[in-house]
Every structure is written in C-alpha cells, then in structure tokens.
Amino acid sequence: MIRLEKRPQPSKMWIYMTPVLAVLLTMLFGGIMFMVIGTSPIEAIRTIFWDPLFHPQFAAFSRPQLLVKAGPLILIAIGLSIGFRAGIWNIGAEGQYIIGAICGAGVGLALYPMESALILPLMIIAGALGGWAWAMIPAILKVKFGTNEILVSLMLVYVAENILASVSSGVLRNPEGMGFPGSRNLAQWSSSQNLELFAGSGMHLGVLTAFIAVILAYVLLTRHIQGYNIRLTGEAPRAARFAGVSPARTVLFCLGLAGVLAGMAGLFEVTGPAGQITIDFGSGYGFTAIIVAFLGRLHPVGILLAGLLMALTYIGGELAQLMLGVPGASIQLFQGMLLFFLLGVDVLTNFRIRVGKAEVAA
C-alpha cells in the first residue's frame, strides 16, 4: 500500500528536487509519446533540449533566441509571481502586455520621425503605465465591488486583443505601409529601437530589465516588509489582516506591479524582436508566464531558470517541428506535461511517500 504522510515541515531538499524530477518525468513520458507517434524519442528530446544550444548549424541562430524568448517570460512571470504569492490570481498578463506595447508604441509613433535619446525611455514609461492601467481595471473592480480578478483579468485579454486588431489597422497603421495592417517598424527607427546590447547574444534591454526584476523581486520578498506582507497575505489572509496589512492595498500593489512589468515586456518586444504592432503581436507570453511562474516555484531565481527552460522548449519545439516533422500539438502536449508533472510532484515537498504498512518510528 502506498500512503502519503504529511511532513512536519516542507522538505528543503524536495523544494529544489521537484522541478528536476518533473523535467525528468516529462522527458520520460514525452519520449514515450514521441515513440508512439513514430519519432525516435532520443532524437526528439535531443532536438528539443540540446540542439538549440549546441547544434553546429542551427545554434548560431537559435542560441540568442533563448534570451529573446526568456526575457519577456521572466519579466512577466516575476510580476505574476508576486501576486500569486499573495493569492491574487492575475491571469490577464497577456492583455497587460498587449496594452503596454500599444501605449508605448503609440507614444513613440506620435513623435515620429523626431530623433531623440529620450524617446525610448518615454516609450518604456508609457508602456509600463499602459500595462499598469490595464491591470488596475480588475484591481479596482476587486477592491470596490469584490469581483473575481481571475475572470476580469482574463476577459480583458480578449478586449485587449480586439483593441490590438483595431489599432493595428486603424490609428497606428503605417501610413507608408501600402494599406497593410501594422504599424511602422519601431526596431528600424533609431529613436525607438531596442537593439541587442551585445551582438549575437539576444540580450536586449528587456532581458536586462528582466534580470534586474529578478534581483529586485528577490530583495523584496526576502528583505522588505512589503514582500513579507505579500507572503503573509498568501499564507494566512486573516493573520495578514491582524498584522495590519490592508488587503485592498495588497491587491492594488500586486496587480499594478504585474501590469507594469507585463507592459514593459510588451514595449521591449514591440521595439525589438517584434518590431511593429500587428494583429498577431500577442504571442501568448502572458499565458506562458503563468506556467513559468509556477515552474519556478514563485521564487525569483526559480523563475529565472524556469524562463530559460521554457524558452528552450519553445525553440527546441520549433526546431523539432522543422527537423523531425513532429506535429505542433505534440510540442504543446510536451509543454503541458511539464506543468502537469511540476504540480504533481510538488506533493513531495509537503508529504512523504510511505510504501507498506504503517511502521513504528523509533
């Protein structure tokens, strides 16, 4: 008989071991899946995890992509994780990301074709404010009327996507774009371009901001009373109120912070890798970041690693579709397995598995 036995305290070792175990289980069961659909499991897993970084031919292209993809994931996930720590479930980072990009791009395009070193900083601020404002909608509705932030923030993603469709063929459309939807290319305008800081690294301002966010979030959560209050709110809401933490202020802070970071991520994306506001600008980073946040155990350093791992599976997944011809759905399934196993094996942190009958402790 297999039983679960509650640990008196969460196991320190398993906090670190569960993500590793989850990745190994994903490789095992993902490998079985690839075998079933007729692909060599070893080759598939090598293509997903190894080739993007070390393939002699593709690595030069795909290696920088790692940071390009991981940057926004980490930046958004850091913001989300702070809220998740407090039990505030912002599912709408994708919308905040889109609105941040639109606001930042809008401010930049309004100044086009002026040349100034101040334009990009101004756009970053506008992007952050755009994401913040979009996140304030569920925050204020929750504080004032007790609405559920999960539903409101999620629904606002679809609103944001419609606004995106509207502006990319409306007010933000490139007047010189020969009628095609989509804005001017911001990556090609020297005042707004968010270039790689080191050639061939994929490291742009957004990635740098993500790394800084990791450090600041770590300091916030471990050293600052605001971070303590957030953790306390998530652990024991009544104790938090007893400690004097205002639930309303926590909601506003957490959703606002997530909005700011998601909005900035959107702005860095539209001025760099994406280049322009188009109908399909929303790439799902805001949703994937939720997975990244949990994959990283809502811990800043964990999120850093999880973001890199997630980016790797994306790039590797694309590579596998390209080189091995596996269907895109199998890659999504593979990523889904990763989250599934992560949540599943998390039980080991708080419980231990006992096999056999109950034994007498010494």
Footprint on this chain of another protein (rule: CB under 8 A): 5, 8-10, 223-226, 228, 231-232, 235-236, 238-244, 246, 358-361
Burial of 52 (0-12, 13-18, 19+ CB in 10 A): buried
The CB-of-353 to another protein minimum distance in angstroms stands at: 13
Which CA distances in Å does 16 have to 10, 41, 300?
Answer: 11, 27, 13
Q: Which is nearer to another protein, 201 or 226 (CB)?
A: 226
Burial of 230 (0-12, 13-18, 19+ CB in 10 A): buried
CB of 5 to another protein, least distance (A): 7
**Closest separation in Å from C-beta 297 to another protein:** 14
Give whichever of 185 and 226 is closer to another protein, judged by the CB atom: 226
Nearer to another protein, 144 or 357 (CB): 357
Q: Rounded distance, CA 185 to CA 199, Å? A: 20
Tell me the C-alpha distance between 87 and 101, whole Å.
27
Q: Which is nearer to another protein, 355 or 360 (CB)?
A: 360
Q: Which is nearer to another protein, 15 or 111 (CB)?
A: 15
Note whether 302 and 74 are within 8 A (CB): no
- Least separation in angstroms between CB 359 and another protein: 8
Residue 221 or residue 265: which is nearer to another protein going by CB? 221
Neighbours of 59 (CB within 10 A): 16
Least Å distance, CB 7 to another protein, is: 9
**Closer of 1 and 199 to another protein (Cβ):** 1
What type of residue is 241? R
Calculate the alpha carbon distances from 143 to 44, 80, 139, 247, 248 in Å.
Answer: 48, 18, 6, 8, 6
Size of the chain, expressed as the number of residues it contains:
362
**What is the secondary structure of 14-65 as a DSSP string?**
HHHHHHHHHHHHHHHHHHHHHHHTTS-HHHHHHHHHTHHHH-TTTHHHHHHH
CB of 146 to another protein, least distance (A): 14
Write down the least CB distance from residue 244 to another protein, Å.
4
